[in-house]
Amino acid sequence: MVLIREATLEDAPGIARVHVDSWRTTYPGIVPDDYLSSLSYERSQRRWEAFLAPTHESYHYVAVDDSGRIVGFASGSENREGTGEYSGELTAIYLLQEYQRQGIGRRLVSAVAGRLLREGHKSMVVWVLKDNPSRRFYEALGGQLVKSKPIEIGGRVLEEVQYAWNDITVLL
């Protein structure tokens, strides 16, 4: 059984490990290999400690297995672009490969959507790399493809696509 709960500062090391490991299993052949090999648990942990600080205006949820290990996480906030008709944003969602396709990702998205609703947001977007095969997950959740933009990662220009939900109550 996997528990979904709000993240705390003490979760930073576990979140960092999931973040780095997920990038390394999801993005080979998409993101340059030297960029993936340069990812560091320590650097990622420092970033997550800053994100999890009480003054940071974002929400974070973790998926924890029976042994207490963090196996996934999701984050949300007000739409970082601050424009358009979608006021909320799913800013991150990562799940260890062996925990995918078990409904855990859906539960993480639901936790973020619920929090966004409580904060007054009724709609949401997420940005995902176009070549990420996991982007079909957002389509299965009813996300509508609305736009794309270039993004540079590791010296390579990639394309990000945005999925949107006009009514995030469908995600609860």
Question: What letter represents residue 7's amino acid?
Answer: A
User: CA 91, CA 18: separation in Å to the nearest integer?
Assistant: 15
Domain range list for the chain? 3-122
How far apart are the C-alpha atoms of 72 and 56, rounded to whole Å? 20
DSSP state of 158: E
Which segments of the chain are extended strands (E)? 3-6, 59-64, 70-78, 88-95, 124-129, 144-153, 156-165
Pairing type for strands 124-129 and 88-95 reads parallel
pLDDT for 54? 86
Output the pLDDT for position 84. 77
pLDDT in tens, 7-47: 999 999 999 999 999 999 999 999 999 999 999 999 999 99
Domain 3-122 has CATH 3.40.630.30: yes
For 81-125, the DSSP string reads T--SS--EEEEEEEE-GGGTTSSHHHHHHHHHHHHHHHTT---EE
For residue 162, the model assigns a pLDDT of: 97
Calpha distance 3→97 (Å, rounded): 17
Instruction: Name residues of the chain where pLDDT drops below 70.
Output: none
pLDDT number for residue 27: 97
